[in-house]
Amino acid sequence: MAMFLLANHAEVDTQNVYSNTALYYAVEQSNIEMASILLSYGANPNFQCHFNVTPFEIAWVKYIDSPELHFEMMKLLVTNIVKTEHCNAVDTNLSGFIQNKRLINESGDLKELEQQCHKEIEEMKSISVGENGKSFFDIFVLQKDINTLARCANNPDIVKCQDKFSMYSSFIEKSIKEGKARAKLLQGAAESMDEIFESN
């Protein structure tokens, strides 16, 4: 049901009477799959409810109590926060963002995780893909050029990069899958056009 609503342009950060969003509940229930889906549709982990609590803070409290059990959720949220920071998709002066950064800094392991994210993104930004000057980060994490993505998705060197950038491997894997699907669609369209022109 959630996928249907999101695919049909439902507002991902709609709030209830307590100003909680769907991401709050996904994090509260430790539902990594739903949190990942919501984040992929633009859910904001920096959003503060009436009590000035962010979804990230809910996950952070759980993580501090039981790090092994809640590490994957924290990794998901930290990689998303760093990604949005690098693509200027978040106002870094907002109190929710500042609050989340403070919480990251309070944990040595999370700070290390954040630094690894920054390092991988900087390296991805240094790799040019295609002829339009866009970086690996632009194409395979932000998906800024779907046509370049389609052209590169079957390149074995690109697949190797998925393992190289472990923090963002899920983004890269998803992009490769979508790029291959687009390439197949374009190939089918080209073959159909050839058949049309051959029959005339």
DSSP code string of 37-99: HHHHTT--TT---TTS--HHHHHHHHHHH-HHHHHHHHHHHHHHHHHHHHTT-S-TTSHHHHH
Domains and CATH numbers, the chain: 1-126 (1.25.40.20), 129-200 (no CATH)
Q: pLDDT tens digits for 158-199?
A: 777 778 899 998 888 888 888 888 888 877 777 777 677 776
The pair of three-digit structure tokens given for residue 42, joined into one six-digit string: 């633009």
The pair of three-digit structure tokens given for residue 121, joined into one six-digit string: 């993104």
pTM: 0.85
With vertex at residue 77, the alpha carbon angle to CA 74 and CA 79, rounded to the nearest 5 degrees, is 105
Q: Which residues contact 199 (CB under 8 A, 6 or more apart)?
A: none
Q: pLDDT tens digits for 119-151?
A: 999 999 998 887 778 899 999 898 888 888 888
